Amino acid sequence: MTLFSSSMTLRAATPISDAEFKELRDFIYQRSGIWVDEKRKYLFENRFHKRLATLGLKSFDEYVKLLKFDPRSAEEMKTLWEIITTNETSFFRDIKQLESFQKVILGEVLAEQRKKGKLELNIWSAGCSSGEEPYTLAMLISESLGLELPKWKVLISAVDLSPAMIAKAKEATYGDYAFKTTTEEQKKKFFVPEGANFKVKPELARMVSFQQMNLNDDAAVRRVPKSQIVFCRNVIIYFDDAMRTKVARAFYDNLLSGGYLLLGHSETLHKISTAFRPKFIPGAMAYRKD
Ligand SMILES: C[S@@+](CC[C@H](N)C(=O)[O-])C[C@H]1O[C@@H](n2cnc3c(N)ncnc32)[C@H](O)[C@@H]1O
């Protein structure tokens, strides 16, 4: 039974030639910086099969032509991003890093702002998926500021390539999957039940502003408000070194001096940028713009 259904799946996938793979791969790379290795050619065959059938296309060649030359291209790009992005995320993901961040980095940045008499905090969550990361940051900030919170102007600019993820993030309502790294205590503290789901409390949701954005779009990236902290976790793993270098420079330019960049636990700026000063915090690394 298993063998039969897997052979059915194989037959169902639309075959992609080496030339078609390269053309689609290069198109995706030029537009988004996302690099798909040759070894993952099968991913294209499996992931695009349904889309090609829906569009009534018989080959990848026809699909690439649609993306490049058809008037429907702009609309199709939105679906393309749904198909190729990996949106895995959850509330309080990588709690060790977040706890160190809250204690060391956030503590320092808030103290600096108080010293300057500027009760403002800007954070950029780049590659925010369906919103769990920026909302988690809003929760940590509200915890750190406590009763001081109403005196502060906090803005978390959260962006992602996927229009569907941004739409979901704006709803701020989540099911069980989003809470796989969340304690019951955190859930009670920061959410209100809504049917079978949970909604982020409005006073927290208010701190976050969502926008669909491609990190490969220089002009859009330059419009992000200057930040004291940039979070870009589990995003640059999908890029090649040229794109990693480009976004590292964009984060550096966006950060105010004394600001910090935080990446995912498996990501590093090693061989990518020497502009930042690495700062070890328990369980993680932060990159400081001096
Ligand atoms: C694995 S998720 C990470 C979500 C969150 N930062 C976390 O660590 O839980 C990666 C996200 O990066 C986004 N992404 C990939 N390439 C992008 C690009 N060029 N511009 C903006 N977002 C991008 C994807 O759409 C996806 O939602």
Q: Above pLDDT 70, what percent of the chain?
A: 96
58 is written with which tokens?
């018989």
pLDDT in tens, 144-170: 999 999 999 999 999 999 999 999 999
130 CB near ligand 1 (under 6 Å): no
235 CB near ligand 1 (under 6 Å): yes
Residue 110: name the closest of 123, 97, 91 by CA.
Answer: 123
147 CA to centre of ligand 1 in angstroms:
33
Q: What is the residue-wise DSSP string for 106-145? A: IHHHHHHHHHHT--EEEEEEES-TTTHHHHHHHHHHHHHH
116 CA to centre of ligand 1 in angstroms:
34
The CA distance from 198 to 171, in Å, is 11
Residue among 135, 136, 160 to mutate when testing ligand 1 (max atoms within 8 A of CB): 160
Q: Above pLDDT 90, what percent of the chain?
A: 91
Q: Say whether pLDDT at 9 is over 60.
A: no
Residue 261: name the closest of 243, 274, 248, 244 by CA.
Answer: 248
Q: What is the pLDDT of residue 11?
A: 47
Q: What is the pLDDT of residue 226?
A: 98
Q: What is the pLDDT of residue 6?
A: 36
88 CB near ligand 1 (under 6 Å): yes
Q: Say whether pLDDT at 111 is over 70.
A: yes
118 CA to centre of ligand 1 in angstroms:
31
Q: What is the pLDDT of residue 1?
A: 28
pLDDT in tens, 215-234: 999 999 999 999 999 999 99
- When pLDDT is cut at 50, 70 and 90, the band that residue 5 belongs to is very low
214 CB near ligand 1 (under 6 Å): yes
pLDDT in tens, 66-95: 999 999 999 999 999 999 999 999 999 999
120 CB near ligand 1 (under 6 Å): no
- When pLDDT is cut at 50, 70 and 90, the band that residue 12 belongs to is low
97 CB near ligand 1 (under 6 Å): no
91 CA to centre of ligand 1 in angstroms:
15
3-class state of residue 86 by DSSP: coil
Domains of the chain in sequence order: 2-84 (1.10.155.10), 95-288 (3.40.50.150)
Mean pLDDT for all residues in the chain? 94
The CA distance from 206 to 102, in Å, is 20
Q: What is the pLDDT of residue 32?
A: 98
pLDDT in tens, 28-40: 999 999 999 999 8
Q: What is the pLDDT of residue 14?
A: 82
